[in-house]
Amino acid sequence: MIYLFGFDPSLNGMGYCVLEASRKSPRLVEVGTVKGRNKTWGDEDTHQVRLALIASKTRELVAKYRPAHSKVYIERGFSNKYVNATQLAFKARGAMESELVGFELVEIPATSVKKIIASYGHASKASVADSVADLLKVDKSVFNTEDESDAAAVAVIGFLKMKEEEQ
């Protein structure tokens, strides 16, 4: 089987998606969000803890699925007026990337994700979730967070690019 990864890196909730991509249509295998603190934790939920969790989950996915496809698809971070938020997103991406040595990282801008998946470059998160659920033939409730539906959208675009390259 060919597995393909899609990521939406963020320190507050990194979305990830694994698709089985050896068929004509992609099949959702796993989707989730890597978060920091939960109810059982004390005050130790530092940036370093979150970064370690992101790196650990990425390492786990690579070990679990051993993807034969050499490319990993990532929603491209963007810079905005909130410099601290942007820096945190890039820290999360760095933690994820450190576990993807040997893979080609393909960045997809958020507006491209929205345009390809929901047919409008400024589509709402809800529209993206609806559209990607339809494309994957799953119920939208499978996505617990917007980070998960965004990662799934990125993975679907990766699937489309992979199929295009095969032709």
Q: What is the pLDDT of residues 48-82, one digit of tens each?
A: 888 899 999 999 999 999 877 889 999 987 656 66
Taking 90 as the threshold, does the pLDDT of residue 152 lie above it? yes
Tokens of 149: 């539906």
Taking 80 as the threshold, does the pLDDT of residue 155 lie above it? yes
List domains and CATH numbers for the chain.
3-166 (3.30.420.10)
Cα Rg of the chain (Å, integer): 15
Question: What is the per-residue pLDDT across 120-136, written as a single tens digit (0 to 9) for each?
Answer: 988 999 999 999 999 99
Tokens of 80: 């905005």
**Rounded Cα–Cα distance for residues 12 and 161 (Å):** 28
**Rounded Cα–Cα distance for residues 33 and 27 (Å):** 18
Taking 60 as the threshold, does the pLDDT of residue 40 lie above it? no
Taking 90 as the threshold, does the pLDDT of residue 88 lie above it? no
